[in-house]
Amino acid sequence: MEGSTIYLGQGGLVQVNGQTQTINATAQLINGMLFYKDQDGVIFAGVSLQIFFDGNTALIAGLATASEGLCGNPINGNQTFNLAAEKSSSSVAGCEILYSDTPNNTTNCNITTEHCNLLMQAPFTDCHSQVDPAPYITACAETSCKFQTEEGLALSCQFFFSYAKTCGLNPNITLGDWRSPTVCPVPQVSCMEMYCSDNEFCDENNGEPQCLCRALFAAKYTPTNSLGDPTVCMGSSATLTLAECLLSAKKIDYTTLRLLDESCKGHLDNETHMVTFSFDSSNTCGTEVMSNNASQIIYKNTITLQNSSTDVITRHDQVSIDFSCLYTVPDIRSVSFKIKESSVVQEIVSGIWNYTLMMNAYIDAQFVNLVGPNTELVLDQKVWVELMTGGLDYNLVSLVTDSCWATNQPSPNASLRYDLIINGCPNPADHTVRVQGNGLGTSNVFSFNMFQFSGKAGDLYLHCQLELCPKHGSSCAPLPILSF
């Protein structure tokens, strides 16, 4: 036994030194230690240490030198403790600050405390000389008082069971029927074979074992009446994650849920028991594309209940959970730079999806030689301007250059203005303007011959109004004006 590593997990999992063991009702000797399993849980017995574990609650008994609890050593040589009992009684360093719920104002603490004090009466008195009931009573009263009276009384039965189980580890003690005087029902189902996540616990529900949400976990979602976390938009994908235990609490079976495309269903993580629904550009799952007053492009899908076409009636609430991602256009901005200087890059943080707009000027059609601060441009020299984005999925949206114009002042609203592109097309009055790939992808190019305003010397400033167009819709969302 010395030097052995024992792991007891949910679902009756037992590992000794990393090797998974098959445990049943017949006691087995493994590395000098005795293991067996009953309907309540797994029992491990060593020379000076006994452990009972049902997947949710651990009872540890033995000599004080044989084990250390979550917050230190047992109080005496025959002390038995579980999580709740030790939490309330230990004063070991590191355990001074404990998580604590405030009492429920609907709870009658006197009633729950009186119920817990039944541990001082028969038939438990037969065990008092071997197992001190005081830590159990204290933990029972403090914990039960934090729930509504009905729930608190039911919770106190767990402490009665823990005390009775501990007493049962001593073959010389027979408690007899302790459930009748405590009005604690005999469990109708066993949670022994159930695996629940860290945010769940196993209990009976409609005669079946089921993983239910822990109160601390559910409290994050109760105020907003939500069933999971907010939508996550990344790149060209959208993901919504729901908690299976929150769905089960509303009698919703996650396997009956699907997106607008019935073939797109949720994926259950076997470890966390979180259910994920998602769509992306390669599989839109029936995603609807729409615009909001031309200021946003919205990609929306809905989680609904998949009813059979043969179902005439249903006795379950209908399910409709909308989730969406969007490209949001901020207020109009201008980023101006002289055509003699380098290119401009503007980072657009748009709602949840982010993207970058770039506007570069070149003096060659191969887009190799950027217009820089030392580039000398002459009149009638051809200039190519590339407008492109980073962070957009070309399967979802395309970039459209709606208009471009030149001014002799940095402001795009200067009174002296010359149009190069109008409504996505070259100015018919200027035969030097050429537009390539406008609206076909996430970048496009136009070119024109250099000019200056008659009678005006100085720099030339170029401004462009861009739009994003959803490839699955019929509307565009205008982007900020880019200027140089």
pLDDT along the chain (484 residues), means of 10: 74 84 85 80 75 74 56 44 34 46 63 91 92 89 75 79 83 88 81 82 79 87 88 86 91 90 93 93 86 76 73 61 77 40 45 76 91 79 90 82 89 91 94 93 92 81 86 60 56
What is the pTM for the complete model shown? 0.56
Please check whether residue 371 lies inside any domain of the structure.
Answer: yes
What is residue 382's predicted lDDT score, i.e. its pLDDT?
A: 92
pLDDT confidence of residue 281: 79
Same-domain status, 140 and 34: yes
Q: Rounded to the nearest 5°, which phi and psi values hold at 397?
A: -135, 160
pLDDT value, residue 309: 52
CA distance 288 to 282: 14
249 three-state secondary structure: helix
Q: Are residues 163 and 81 in the same domain?
A: yes
What pLDDT does residue 365 have? 92
Residues 171 and 68 in one domain: yes
Residues 318 and 381 in one domain: no
Contact indicator for 343, 374 with CB cutoff of 8 Å: no
> Do 31 and 135 share a domain, yes or no?
yes
In a domain, 188, yes or no: no
Per-residue model confidence (pLDDT) at position 174: 85
Residues 33 and 159 in one domain: yes
Q: Which CATH number goes with the domain that contains 316?
A: 2.60.40.3210
Cα separations (Å) of 438 from 324, 343, 388?
28, 20, 11
Q: Judge whether 161 lies within some domain.
A: yes
What is the model's pLDDT at position 473?
A: 59
Amino acid letter at 18?
A: G
- pLDDT at 314 (0 to 100): 52
CA distance 244 to 95: 33
pLDDT of res. 145: 80
Residues 342 and 321 in one domain: no
Closest CA to 185 of 147, 158, 152, 217: 158
The whole-number pLDDT of residue 75 equals: 43
The burial class, CB within 10 Å (0-12 / 13-18 / 19+), for 314 is exposed
CA 154 to chain centre: 31
As for how many domains the chain has, the answer is 3
pLDDT at res. 333: 42
* Whole-angstrom distance, CA of residue 165 vs CA of residue 97: 29
Radius of gyration for the chain, computed over Cα atoms and rounded to the nearest angstrom = 35
Range of the domain at 135: 6-182
Same domain, 437 and 307: no
Residue at 202 is within a domain: no
Phi-psi region of 351 (alpha: psi -120 to 50; beta: other; left: phi over 0): left
Residues 465 and 386 reside in one and the same domain: yes
